[in-house]
Structure 1
Amino acid sequence: MNKVEAVKSTVAGLSKLYNHRTRLGLMGILLVNDWVDFVTLRNALKLSDGSLAGHIKALHKAGQIETEKRFVDDKPRTSYRATPAGREAFERHLEELEEFLKIMEN
């Protein structure tokens, strides 16, 4: 397989769901943490509430993350974590990115 064919094959394996840097960052945070609350995610990614909510909605709809709503000190707190399927899909995506970078280095 030549370099062009290798790149095409690797790029085809990438998930379009993670093409946006925010979703890539969001899943990266959730992959290394158990539950992360909305405010922590918003601050870490430097996003507006609406922007973060839109990306969360897309990942939730795709079954990549799950939501937990509870009260802490009488205040609502919404937290998120990657689902097992989300972890697996994101790890596959990262593997494809690594493979792509290896191809491009050679």
Structure 2
Amino acid sequence: MADSPPPPSHPALALNDTVHQRVRLAILTMLSEARECRFSTLRDELGLTDGNLNRHLRILEQAGLLQVVKGYEGRRPATWLRLTREGRAALHAEITALEQLVDRLRSSGATQRDRSPDAT
């Protein structure tokens, strides 16, 4: 039986570079709130250009975190996005790591020291 590697010693080491990027984290969060979301809704809510959003979606799709579904609404082309099971798990892991970071900071008292007027 092989030994499994020890868990990361610091919660920041559990952050996923693909998910943690702020726009991609926002995309995954929005997709977790609904069964699917239109491309235009994501673009408008996040204040992105079509090209910028497309680049982030491509990265998330290649990582298997979301599914892109193209079709039509009436005669107009439309694109819908759905979070995959892997995407939901990756978002959950990211949120857990962020919560552990916050808990660590709070338990160390660092956030209180930073608020004091005499902190340097």
Q: TM-score, normalised by structure 1?
A: 0.90
In 2, Cα distance between equivalents of 1:19 and 1:99: 15
Q: Provide the residue aligned with 1:56 in structure 2.
A: 57
Structure 1 stretches of 4+ with a deviation exceeding 3 A read none
In 1, Cα distance between equivalents of 2:101 and 2:92: 14
1:9 aligned onto 2:3: no
Aligned AA (1:64): L
In 1, Cα distance between equivalents of 2:105 and 2:71: 46
- Higher helix fraction (1 or 2): 1
Q: Provide the residue aligned with 2:69 in structure 1.
A: 68
Aligned AA (1:60): E
Q: Percent identity?
A: 28
In 2, Cα distance between equivalents of 1:68 and 1:18: 21
Aligned AA (2:11): T
The C-alpha deviation readout for 1:70-103, integer Å capped at 9, x for no partner, is 1111011001011001101110110110010110
The 3-state SS of whatever aligns with 1:41 is helix
| Unaligned ranges ≥5, structure 2 | 1-7, 108-120
Alignment of 1:1-106 (within 5 A): 8-106=9-107
The 3-state SS of whatever aligns with 2:10 is helix
What displacement does 1:8 show? 5.0
Larger Cα-atom Rg:
2
Aligned AA (1:45): L
In 2, Cα distance between equivalents of 1:105 and 1:12: 18
Q: Provide the residue aligned with 2:117 in structure 1.
A: none
